């Protein structure tokens, strides 16, 4: 399965349905793309950037980018820019001599551990978050892709936040 198809399947499991290319919800797309700015900030820090001011720059860029549209959307330009992000990211993997497909598999595999996989994991996950002060939750989906969410604004868990399962594991990358 391609990286795109794996990420699409992961999004569907998270409850993010596939969009309709005949009626694109560009507000939803803008919101999704704001995450790219956060990841860019993380990347630059990981590459040794001076954290002084980087957080402010990331927040400023997100604020400017998130203000909504100032012009009509050019779908071809959007598609080109999104693909260019992939091209440059895959190019960086190439420069490091590391297989981006294997890294993507490791990341998606890690993200998939956020789901509640069975009844025992469900009990442990509710307890884990209850012990952190998240007392009111609800579920969406079915095992092994059940999602536990915060039912209201609570400590470190705003209403609707996806709560990682007790069996969650950090990404484990293949050795270099």
| Separation CA 49–CA 3 (nearest Å) | 28
- Given a contact cutoff of 8 angstroms between Cβ atoms, the answer to whether 126 and 138 are in contact is no
Residue 70, pLDDT score: 67
Predicted confidence at residue 111, as pLDDT, reads: 94
CA–CA gap between residue 134 and residue 138 (Å, rounded): 11
User: Per-residue confidence at 72, pLDDT binned at 50, 70, 90?
Assistant: confident
CB 165 within 8 A of CB 148: yes
Name the band, by pLDDT with cuts 50, 70 and 90, for residue 14.
confident
Given a cut of 80, is residue 109 above it in pLDDT?
yes
Asked if the model's pLDDT at residue 115 lies above 80, the reply is: yes
Asked whether 119 and 143 are in contact (CB, 8 A), the reply is yes
Neighbours of 172 (CB within 10 A): 10
Mean pLDDT of 69-94: 91
pLDDT tens digits for range 21-48: 999 999 899 889 989 999 999 999 999 9
Give the pair of three-digit tokens for residue 101.
């497909």
DSSP 151: S
């Amino acid at each position: 399965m391609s990286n795109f198809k794996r990420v699409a399947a992961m999004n569907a499991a998270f409850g993010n349905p596939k969009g309709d290319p005949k009626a694109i919800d560009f507000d939803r797309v803008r919101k999704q793309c704001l995450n790219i700015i956060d990841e860019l900030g993380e990347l630059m820090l990981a590459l040794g950037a001076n954290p002084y001011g980087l957080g402010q720059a990331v927040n400023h860029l997100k604020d400017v980018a998130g203000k909504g549209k100032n012009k009509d959307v050019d779908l071809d330009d959007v598609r080109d820019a999104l693909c260019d992000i992939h091209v440059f990211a895959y190019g960086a993997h190439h420069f490091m001599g590391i297989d981006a497909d294997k890294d993507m598999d490791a990341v998606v595999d890690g993200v998939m551990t956020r789901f509640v996989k069975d009844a025992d994991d469900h009990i442990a996950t509710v307890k884990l978050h209850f012990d952190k002060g998240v007392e009111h939750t609800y579920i969406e989906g079915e095992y092994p892709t059940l999602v536990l969410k915060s039912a209201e604004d609570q400590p470190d868990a705003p209403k609707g936040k996806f709560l990682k399962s007790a069996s969650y594991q950090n990404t484990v990358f293949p050795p270099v």
